Amino acid sequence: MEYPSLFKLNYTDFSNNTYQHFHLESLQPIQLSLWKNVFYTDVSNQIHINHNNITLLYAGINKALKSFFYYSGKSFSSQKLVLGTIFQYYIQYLAHNIFNNSQLVQPFNNLHTVKNTINDSIENIIHEILNNTADINIKSIIDNSQQQKFIHLKIFINKPNIPSLPAIHVKNTCWHLHILLV
């Protein structure tokens, strides 16, 4: 099953023996003005941070990363996926690979290690963005030349250790997150 991009973005399949790659498009955009109120360039084109507005940007990024996403691209399941958060897509992925049914997510709803991995990754992403060490181009975000802007982030989730299911066919995953800035 193939899901078209909501934003008409084209994705390359990077899947390999180490990671399976999936694309999620956030249904919660982030206000571009938040970025421009926090990051600015001086006359030497160096990026600076206005700490007075940083909590508003933190809240906007956090909300986008913890809200619902739309799955885009070739699905890991032949069944229709349920719209959800990063965690909800991941447990659908587990259910598909373990039970061959992406709808049987109930056994995984309390996988706290996976929830913690995702939450820690979100916190690390936000920390890197707010410290200008993330792998995104802040200058291209705050310039005025482009009409439609996105940030593209990644969360890596290693297959969980589930002792009662020793022979699960689950790979490590990389979830590409695409968030519209409006």
Reported pTM:
0.91
Confidence of residue 111 (pLDDT cuts 50, 70, 90): confident
Residues 59-86 have pLDDT tens digits of 999 999 999 999 999 999 999 999 999 9
Q: Is 179 exposed, middle or buried (0-12, 13-18, 19+ CB in 10 A)?
A: buried
Cβ burial of 93 (10 Å; 0-12, 13-18, 19+) is buried
Highest mean pLDDT among 8-12, 125-129, 147-151: 125-129
How far, CA to CA in Å, does 107 sit from each of 103, 104, 122, 165, 172?
A: 11, 7, 24, 12, 19
Mean pLDDT across the stretch 137-155?
A: 85
